[in-house]
Structure formats: structure tokens, C-alpha cells
Amino acid sequence: MHIAAVALSLLLAVAMLGSGVMKLLGTAQMTENMRVVNVSVPQMRVLGVLELLATVGLVVGLWVPAIGIAAAIGAVVYFAGAVVAHVRAHEKNVQPAAVLFVFAVATLVVLLLAL
């Protein structure tokens, strides 16, 4: 189970790193995606910082499991919020947020089982 926990943690960390960096850089595609769900540029930057913090937490969690679990809980909450934002905005492209939500839940479950 430990190998699965490490693999899922690192994969989720990479996904969140990419998304967080795109939000911080304010790429045109990310800015448009955020506009569709009524997220301003300053809010988008805060979301990017949160994703980078979760990335660090997931990586540190490889050595300190409690931090990894806390980061995974944060990722679950973050992506649940993303799904809700897409649904509330009647936005059709909810799949990426939903997939990352499921991925974050799976990571959290495996991290808890690996204790």
C-alpha cells in the first residue's frame, strides 16, 4: 500500500503543481477558464498559491505522513469547491475538476490506509 500512496501523492502533486503554476502565471487559457466560473485574477492567484502549498505538503508527506494527509484533505476540499463552482456557473467543462476531485479522494484514502 505504501508504494501506491507514494505514487498517488506524487501524481497528484504534479497535477496540482502544473495547475498552480498556470494560475500564478495567469496564462490566457487559465484566465479564461477562471472567468467562466466567476473567479477574478487576484482570486485565481490565491488559488494557485493554495495548489502550490498542497503540492509541497504532498511531497513533504512522503516523510511526514500527517502533512501528506492534511495536504490530501486540502486537495479534496479544493477540488470539491472547483466542481461546485463549475456546476453553479452552469459550465459544461466540469470533467477536469471532477477527475482531480476523484483523484484527490483516492489519494487521501490510500494515504490513510497506508498508516
| pLDDT at residue 13 greater than cutoff 80 | yes
Q: Quick: pLDDT tens for 58-111.
A: 999 999 999 999 999 999 999 999 999 999 999 888 999 999 999 999 999 999
Domain region containing 46: 2-113
| pLDDT at residue 1 greater than cutoff 80 | no
Q: Please give the grid coordinates belonging to residue 109.
A: 484514502
Q: Please give the grid coordinates belonging to residue 65.
A: 505522513
How many domains does the structure of the chain reveal? 1
Nearest to 68 by CA among 22, 113, 19: 113
- The C-alpha atoms of residue 112 and residue 82 are separated, in whole angstroms, by 23
Q: Quick: pLDDT tens for 26-70.
A: 999 999 999 999 999 999 999 999 999 999 999 999 999 999 999
